[in-house]
Amino acid sequence: MRIDLSTIIKAYDVRGTVPDQFSPDVARAIGAAFARVVALPEAGAGRPSVVIGHDMRESGPELVGAFADGLTAAGVDVVLIGLCSTDGLYYASGALGVPGAMFTASHNPAEYNGIKLSRAGARPVGEETGLAEVRALAQEFLDGALPEAAAEAGAVSERDLLADYGAFLRGLVDLSGGRPLKVVVDAGNGMGGHTVPAVLGTGAGLPELPLEIVPLYFELDGSFPNHEANPLEPSNLLDLQAAVVANGADIGLAFDGDADRCFVIDEKGAPVSPSAITALVGLREVAKEKAAGRTPTVIHNLITSRAVPDFLDAAGATTVRTRVGHSYIKAQMAQHDAVFGGEHSAHYYFRDFFFADTGMLAAMHVLAALGEQPHPLSALAEMYEPYVSSGEINSRVADVPAARARVIEAYVTQEGGGPVEVDELDGLTVSHWGSHPQWWFNLRASNTEPLLRLNVEAADEDIMEKVRDDVLSLVRADQTEGDQA
């Protein structure tokens, strides 16, 4: 049966079920295409090389082997670093200065796997930066035959970079002098169970820190037997919240499957919003940048709280608002030489980390901020959460354009009862922030499903709930019962 690669190679990465969509043959074809689109052109006159890592999924080693075959047949050397987090692979790509491939499907179920591809220096490979060409060429190879092998095959070597990755992160945030903290970490049976002992503990031979780590689900298991490794889903945080309270811990950390995202829980068991973390970490990076005599820039996507630009602008930073999606954030990070970037999805990006996202480094900043002062995390976080948000609400609608038109008619054409600002950077954003009552909302269509995603924020809860309910009533006006997603 012919595999249509457009079904698994999307705008940002490769992801599909194994083996019906994503087989070793598919991985080999993608490897051969990646060699020709990225690895060989980037090598110039030097020796072409690609670094490859994988998460804990059972299908990983076989797919990595096939992908490596496609590369070596094209004359590209392969460096295998074995089990790692996605940000561990970004570190390897940045430190070694070569393109990279991370085999992971993040929090997707066990039958899935995928690849996150990067150019040398951890620069992203997305639809507009080479992935479309990789997909087209891989499809040719899959439908016909792989091209003739290079005169000299690439060599395969293995390296363990876990300790180097941990030491690099510790060099960016000093946790040695803070007050002792008890930290519950829920790895969700994902790669956090591999990286946390190495970075925050002594598992990779690094010195002991003033942290007592209480582990939850550190056993690597790609079937995710305890809960889905997606910390943005509230039900996946329940075990961590209970453990933080039961252990009298200072903080809880939850990582997703490939450990590039991190969610934070305070000592009372309450979630700390990613926007608050963006503001907290952003202010630390801004202060460091200003101390070095540089003018800092921070990137945030359009769904983060208005508190983020409020705090960072007041601290002397230039803030740049961008659309949702890691490839857009990374592009803006590089374009503006931004010191930091944050998203509502708990992705955090650092110039000091090759402009790439790393949940571990963000977690270390939060631990440092908490340990450097005497107050509990709930009090620290409250400073950065002055507004009330709805969170992302999905609605399954039969006619997305019609639902959007109803919202535009009510809030733009009729001005929503007061002066509003409107932009379409990513979906529809309507803002009444310049006058009272203060509120804004964003309505975005899903790229893959007939869904509209609503985010609302206001200066107080009553206004947020009113705007939320009014917009949802317009969006869902033609729904039948059970259509809410």
Q: Given the residues 85, 106, 118, 273, select the one marked as catalytic.
A: 106
28: number of CA atoms within 13 Å, CB side? 15
- By DSSP bridging, strand 100-103 and strand 297-301 are unpaired
Which tokens hold the place of 232?
A: 């943005």
Longest dimension (CA), the chain: 71
Helix (H, G, I), strand (E, B) or coil at 334: helix
106 catalytic per annotation: yes
Which tokens hold the place of 236?
A: 């996946």
**Angle (deg, nearest 10), helices 60-73 and 24-34:** 40
Q: Are 41 and 74 in contact (CB under 8 A)?
A: no
Sheet of 262-265, strand order = 211-216, 181-186, 251-255, 262-265, 271-272
Which tokens hold the place of 352?
A: 């000091």
Q: Are 417 and 470 in contact (CB under 8 A)?
A: no
State how far the Cα of 319 lies from the Cα of 312, in Å rounded to an integer: 7
- Determine the straight-line distance between the first and last CA of the chain, rounded to whole angstroms: 33
State how far the Cα of 154 lies from the Cα of 18, in Å rounded to an integer: 27
- Residues belonging to the active site: 106
